[in-house]
């Protein structure tokens, strides 16, 4: 494969990862800011039972901001450095989520997958295929 083809495949792969992460975190964040805590608990978010409501809402708000940060700056090419920074933020959220899920003896498979995708986006957009500003 030529360098140009590898670069194109990497760029497309990064966009796919960004969209998947944005969808996952946008939906999860929206649920955390808009649904009653009791309903979140029934949807598998057991951490809400022992987490202050304000913190749950804050986590949801940061997830929405991260989802926006993964897509909007890169798409508009206005401050695109915010895209890999958002990915680093998501990786941090996933590390904290892994710690929480482990303490509750819950599965961390999804958290690890999201963490790896976030690290991939951060690495790719910082080092290998940064998006240039206008």
Average confidence (pLDDT) over 74-92: 97
For residue 46, the model assigns a pLDDT of 87
Give the predicted TM-score (pTM) of the model. Answer: 0.92
Interval 13-32 mean pLDDT: 98
CA 83, 55, 99, 25 dihedral sign is negative
Q: What's residue 83's pLDDT?
A: 98
More confident residue, 46 or 114: 114
- The structural domains of the chain, with segments of one domain joined by +, span 3-128
In this prediction, residue 1 carries a pLDDT of 62
Angle between helices 82-103 and 3-34 in degrees, nearest 10 = 60
Average pLDDT for 23-38: 97
% of the chain at pLDDT higher than 90:
88
Residues 27-54 have a mean pLDDT of 94
H helical segments located in the chain:
3-34, 37-42, 53-76, 82-103, 109-123
Distance CA 2, CA 6 (A): 6
User: Is residue 3 over pLDDT 80?
Assistant: no
Rounded CA-CA distance 73/71 in Å is 6
The answer on pLDDT for 90 being more than 90 is yes
Confidence of residue 18 (pLDDT cuts 50, 70, 90): very high
Question: Given a cut of 80, is residue 2 above it in pLDDT?
Answer: no
Q: Residue for token digits 């360098």?
A: 3
Q: How far apart are CA 75 and CA 83, in angstroms?
A: 10
């Amino acid at each position: 494969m030529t360098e140009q083809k590898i670069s194109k495949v990497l760029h497309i792969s990064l966009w796919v990862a960004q969209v998947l992460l944005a969808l996952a975190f946008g939906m999860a964040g929206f649920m955390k800011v808009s649904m009653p805590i009791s309903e979140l608990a029934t949807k598998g978010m057991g951490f809400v039972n022992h987490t202050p409501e304000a913190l749950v809402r804050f986590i949801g708000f940061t997830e929405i901001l991260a989802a926006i940060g993964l897509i909007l700056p890169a798409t508009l090419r206005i401050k695109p450095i915010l895209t890999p920074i958002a990915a680093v933020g998501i990786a941090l959220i996933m590390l904290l989520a892994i710690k929480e899920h482990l303490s509750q003896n819950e599965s961390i498979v999804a958290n690890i997958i999201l963490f790896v995708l976030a690290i991939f986006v951060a690495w790719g957009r910082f080092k290998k295929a940064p998006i240039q500003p206008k």
